[in-house]
């Protein structure tokens, strides 16, 4: 078994849908969405920062023992998932083989989990006795088998999910009592378990009825009802992971999917899939390294090398003030002015004790001088006859120390000092450019920034500056100018790919022509459920691309699609197909595309993502069923220093006006995600905001 990374708060999950029907036509599958929702709900119900479920794998496979075992082995042995959940194939029909396939793979059985699920099911339906679940542990992974009906699967999973973290952590070799802040008591509380005095945690779970003791248990079928009659395959099916889900371009409209075949994933999962499929520092597909000269054009790059000082700064002993260079031991008194040192190159006459030299800020100290006295601490004593030149000066300052008002050679920086580390960002503040310039570094190695192509799609879309009035049905292209502006302002080169008509050929030609010109492609429009929504089929069927996700649980931006299309020399081109609605396109650009561009240019870890702040809402905000990215203007309240958010008004996805003067996206939970079933975030509450623009100070 492969080494598993040390336990973190993330418990990774694989959902394996075993069904001949769903494997032949993914559009018929409901289980993935259903179980994803159960897991999202479980995450929302977790109190405190203890652990979190993260769905890493989702697959639909036929009722085939070998295929089931192959997937489970991969997920347990290679991927080291925390939990594998199967649905389907647990009934009495001939092709129901899931329990048999799973049993053979288990190192340990978990009869408690099986009893728990059955007990819960039987409370709801006597048909539960027709189900044959198995559960257990393989390596460090817990495996459970659920019935095939989405309702049954949901209720079964709900009955045990609160206790599964405990099982997963133990299976992975961790001590859940130590690992969880608040420990197992907390898990028990969340699961509704009443601990018995004097028993260890395992007996608590058992004797209290443990797994079945949650009030939330609801179970109806418990049976793995699903159709086994082989249905004609409506879609091509490639090797594992390569199944095509999009509509067939050659098919007629009556055959299109009537519900999206793409699972609805969370924003967090979407971020993870993007991060995994964009070149990243430290991976085999690391970003390209190029040489750039040190000038204004360096802003926004990430250094791909460590840079050390080639010279010392200052390169000579320099005065910090305007005044007189002296020998510090000379003390107060009247001294002849024997020379002048200006901040300009050239030889300077040496100074002896009993002499002084006029000097300006930044000028080199005459050899022999050891300190500088400010002009304010001196008095003129004797001038030339015409009164224009100083001959003698009285030094009033006493107790001078050696090198007072002097910058010693290399006191700001010495030759060989580390200037900037690998991974340092050259910011728009200018400090890093200045630092490099100060020691004569002319060129540095940096990670190349991506060139980004922007394509609008839609038969209705016309050039935004077209002079003629619009005909009925025509829409001015606002997405392309918006995105080109945002990309350029963020320091990336943008390529305008124009507008493609909703015709497979046009889209194909335009995209194909762009591959050699750009590193990342952004399209808008044509990704939802309409028969003219051609992006997904074109990516999958014309270009053999992989759609990593095609739906995200968010508003706006639900149909956001991210894919990679194979190009030359094993390079693949990432393509973000954003929804056509203007607010959706703009929000998803900031939320998904920008982090990808930053990762491509060498940013690492959380630095790729938008910065976050806690802000106070200045009005009630009504919650949407989907988690919402509510556009707002965040201001700094001058007196309190607090960040206050003002909504930009109507948040309909078509309203680009919702982004006017917006500098933040307020992260509002979806309805039902908040534990206390609130329907609104009340005025004065604090919410997380993603910062997309400059913060301003609140007027008045």
Ligand X SMILES: Nc1nc2c(c(=O)[nH]1)N[C@H]1C(S)=C(S)[C@@H](COP(=O)(O)OP(=O)(O)OC[C@H]3O[C@@H](n4cnc5c(N)ncnc54)[C@H](O)[C@@H]3O)O[C@H]1N2
Q: How far apart are CA 351 and CA 332, in angstroms?
A: 17
Q: How far is the CB of 559 from Mg ion (least distance, A)?
A: 8
Strands 628-636 and 643-647: antiparallel
Q: How far is the CB of 552 from ligand MOO (least distance, A)?
A: 8
Q: Which of 176, 370, 456, 586: binder of ligand X (CB under 6 A)?
A: 456
Number of residues that bind Mg ion (CB under 5 A): 3
Q: How far apart are CA 265 and CA 273, in angstroms?
A: 10
Task: Tell me whether residue 335 or residue 562 sits nearer to ligand X (CB atom).
Answer: 562
| 423 contributes a contact to ligand MOO by CB under 6 A | no
Q: Which of 557, 574, 602, 669: binder of ligand MOO (CB under 6 A)?
A: 557
Angle between helices 183-191 and 164-171 (to 10 degrees): 140
Q: How far is the CB of 24 from ligand X (least distance, A)?
A: 23
| 582 contributes a contact to ligand X by CB under 6 A | yes
Angle between helices 150-160 and 31-45 (to 10 degrees): 20
Q: How far apart are CA 340 and CA 696, in angstroms?
A: 49
Q: How far is the CB of 655 from ligand MOO (least distance, A)?
A: 10
Q: Which of 91, 458, 550, 574: binder of ligand X (CB under 6 A)?
A: 458
Q: How far apart are CA 476 and CA 582, in angstroms?
A: 11
Phi-psi category of residue 300: left, alpha or beta, with phi > 0 → left and psi -120 to 50 → alpha: left
| 581 contributes a contact to ligand X by CB under 6 A | yes
Q: How far is the CB of 105 from ligand X (least distance, A)?
A: 38
* Contact (Cβ atoms closer than 8 angstroms) between residue 361 and residue 319: yes
SS3 265: strand
In sequence order, the β-bridge partners of residue 629 are: 667
Range 618-643 burial, b when 16+ CB lie within 10 A, else e: beebebbebbbbbbbbbbeeeeeeeb
Residues 492-495: contacts with CB within 8 Å, 24+ apart? 492/300, 492/449, 492/450, 492/451, 492/452, 492/597, 492/601, 493/449, 493/451, 493/452, 494/451, 494/452, 494/453, 494/454, 495/451, 495/452, 495/453, 495/454
* Contact (Cβ atoms closer than 8 angstroms) between residue 306 and residue 418: yes
Q: Which of 201, 257, 558, 598: binder of ligand X (CB under 6 A)?
A: 558
- Binding to Mg ion, residues 516-545 (CB under 5 A): 528, 530, 533
Query: For 533, phi and psi rounded to 5 degrees?
Result: -85, 95
- Binding to ligand MOO, residues 603-662 (CB under 6 A): 653
Q: How far is the CB of 584 from ligand MOO (least distance, A)?
A: 3
Q: Which does 461 bind (CB under 5 to 8 A by kind): ligand X, ligand MOO, Mg ion, none?
A: ligand X
Task: Tell me whether residue 37 or residue 613 sits nearer to ligand MOO (CB atom).
Answer: 37
| 586 contributes a contact to ligand MOO by CB under 6 A | no
| 550 contributes a contact to ligand MOO by CB under 6 A | no
Q: Which of 551, 555, 573, 635: binder of ligand MOO (CB under 6 A)?
A: 555
Q: How far apart are CA 618 and CA 682, in angstroms?
A: 9
Q: How far is the CB of 497 from Mg ion (least distance, A)?
A: 19
In sequence order, the β-bridge partners of residue 561 are: 577
Task: Tell me whether residue 209 or residue 672 sits nearer to ligand MOO (CB atom).
Answer: 672
Q: How far is the CB of 669 from ligand MOO (least distance, A)?
A: 16
Q: Which does 479 bind (CB under 5 to 8 A by kind): Mg ion, ligand X, ligand MOO, none?
A: ligand X
- Binding to ligand MOO, residues 51-90 (CB under 6 A): none
Number of residues that bind ligand MOO (CB under 6 A): 8
* Contact (Cβ atoms closer than 8 angstroms) between residue 5 and residue 75: no
Q: How far apart are CA 595 and CA 582, in angstroms?
A: 20
Range 78-92 burial, b when 16+ CB lie within 10 A, else e: ebbbbbbbbbbbbbe
- Residue number, nearest CB to ligand MOO: 653
Q: Which does 456 bind (CB under 5 to 8 A by kind): ligand MOO, ligand X, Mg ion, none?
A: ligand X
Q: How far is the CB of 473 from ligand X (least distance, A)?
A: 9
- Binding to ligand X, residues 466-495 (CB under 6 A): 475, 477-480
Q: How far is the CB of 100 from ligand MOO (least distance, A)?
A: 42
| H or E, element range at 326 | strand 323-326
Q: How far is the CB of 262 from ligand MOO (least distance, A)?
A: 13
- Binding to ligand MOO, residues 566-585 (CB under 6 A): 579, 581, 584
Q: What is the CA radius of gyration of the chain?
A: 34
Task: Tell me whether residue 226 or residue 558 sits nearer to ligand MOO (CB atom).
Answer: 558
The interface region with ligand MOO, picked from 106-114, 226-234, 419-427, 552-560 by CB under 6 A, is 552-560
- Binding to ligand X, residues 559-578 (CB under 6 A): 559
Q: Could you list the residues that contact ligand X (CB under 6 A)? A: 456, 458, 460-461, 475, 477-480, 524-530, 533, 556, 558-559, 579-582, 584, 653-654
- Which chain residues interact with ligand MOO by CB under 6 A? 555-558, 579, 581, 584, 653
């Amino acid at each position: 078994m492969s080494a598993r990374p040390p336990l973190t708060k993330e418990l990774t999950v694989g959902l394996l849908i075993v069904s001949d029907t769903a494997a032949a036509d993914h559009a018929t599958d409901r289980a993935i969405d259903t179980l994803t929702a159960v897991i999202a709900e479980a995450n929302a119900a977790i109190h405190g920062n203890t652990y979190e479920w993260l769905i890493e794998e989702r697959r639909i496979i036929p009722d085939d023992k070998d295929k089931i075992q192959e997937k489970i082995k991969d997920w347990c042995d290679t991927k080291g998932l925390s939990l594998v959940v199967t649905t389907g194939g647990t009934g009495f029909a001939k092709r129901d083989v899931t329990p048999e396939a799973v049993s053979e793979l288990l190192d340990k059985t978990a009869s408690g989990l099986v009893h728990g699920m059955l007990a819960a099911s039987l409370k709801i339906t006597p048909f539960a006795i027709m189900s044959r679940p198995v559960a257990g542990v393989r390596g460090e992974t817990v495996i459970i088998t659920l019935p095939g009906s989405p309702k049954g699967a949901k209720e079964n999973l709900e009955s045990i999910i609160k206790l599964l973290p405990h099982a997963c952590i133990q299976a992975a070799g961790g001590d859940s009592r130590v690992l969880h802040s608040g420990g197992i008591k907390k898990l028990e509380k969340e699961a509704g378990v009443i601990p018995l005095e004097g028993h260890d945690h395992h007996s608590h779970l058992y004797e209290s009825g443990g797994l079945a003791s949650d009030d939330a248990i609801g179970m109806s079928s418990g049976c793995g009802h699903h159709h086994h009659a082989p249905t004609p395959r409506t879609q091509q099916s490639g090797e594992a992971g390569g199944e095509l889900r999009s509509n067939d371009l050659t098919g007629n409209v009556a055959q299109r999917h009537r519900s999206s075949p793409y699972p609805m994933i969370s924003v967090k999962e979407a971020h993870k899939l993007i991060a995994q499929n964009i070149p990243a520092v430290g991976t085999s597909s690391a970003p390209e390294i190029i040489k750039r000269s040190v000038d204004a054009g360096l802003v926004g790059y990430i250094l791909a090398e460590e840079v050390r000082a080639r010279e010392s700064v200052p390169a000579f002993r320099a005065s910090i003030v305007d005044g007189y260079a002296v020998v510090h031991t000379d003390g107060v008194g009247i001294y002849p002015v024997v020379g002048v040192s200006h901040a300009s190159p050239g030889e300077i006459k040496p100074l002896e004790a009993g002499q002084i030299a006029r000097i300006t800020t930044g000028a080199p100290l005459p050899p022999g001088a050891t300190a500088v006295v400010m002009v304010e601490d001196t008095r003129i004593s004797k001038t030339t006859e015409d009164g224009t030149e100083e001959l003698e000066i009285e030094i009033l300052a006493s107790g001078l120390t050696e090198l007072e008002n002097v910058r010693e050679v290399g006191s700001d920086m010495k030759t060989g000092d580390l200037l900037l580390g690998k991974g340092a960002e050259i910011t728009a503040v200018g400090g890093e450019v200045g630092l490099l310039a100060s020691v004569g570094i002319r060129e540095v190695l940096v990670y190349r920034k991506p060139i980004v192509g922007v394509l609008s799609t839609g038969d209705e879309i016309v050039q935004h500056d077209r002079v003629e009035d619009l005909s009925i049905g025509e829409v001015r292209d606002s997405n392309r100018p918006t995105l080109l502006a945002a990309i350029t302002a963020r320091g990336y080169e943008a390529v305008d790919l124009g507008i493609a008509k909703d015709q497979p050929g046009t889209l194909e030609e335009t995209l194909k022509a762009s591959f050699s010109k750009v590193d990342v492609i952004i399209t808008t429009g044509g990704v939802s459920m309409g028969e003219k929504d051609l992006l997904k089929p074109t990516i999958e069927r014309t270009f053999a691309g992989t759609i990593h996700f095609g739906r995200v649980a968010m508003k706006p931006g639900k149909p956001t699609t991210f894919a990679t299309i194979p190009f030359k020399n094993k390079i693949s081109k990432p393509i973000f197909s954003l929804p056509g609605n203007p607010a959706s396109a703009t929000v998803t650009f900031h939320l998904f595309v920008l982090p990808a561009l930053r990762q491509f240019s060498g940013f690492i870890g959380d630095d790729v993502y938008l910065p976050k702040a806690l802000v106070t809402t200045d009005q009630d905000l009504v919650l949407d069923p989907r988690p919402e990215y509510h556009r707002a203007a965040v201001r700094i309240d001058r007196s309190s220093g607090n960040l206050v958010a003002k909504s930009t008004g109507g948040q309909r996805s078509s309203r680009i006006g919702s982004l006017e003067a917006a500098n933040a996206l307020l992260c509002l939970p979806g309805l039902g995600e908040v534990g206390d079933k609130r329907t609104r975030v009340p005025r004065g509450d604090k919410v997380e905001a993603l910062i997309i623009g400059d913060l301003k100070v609140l007027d008045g």
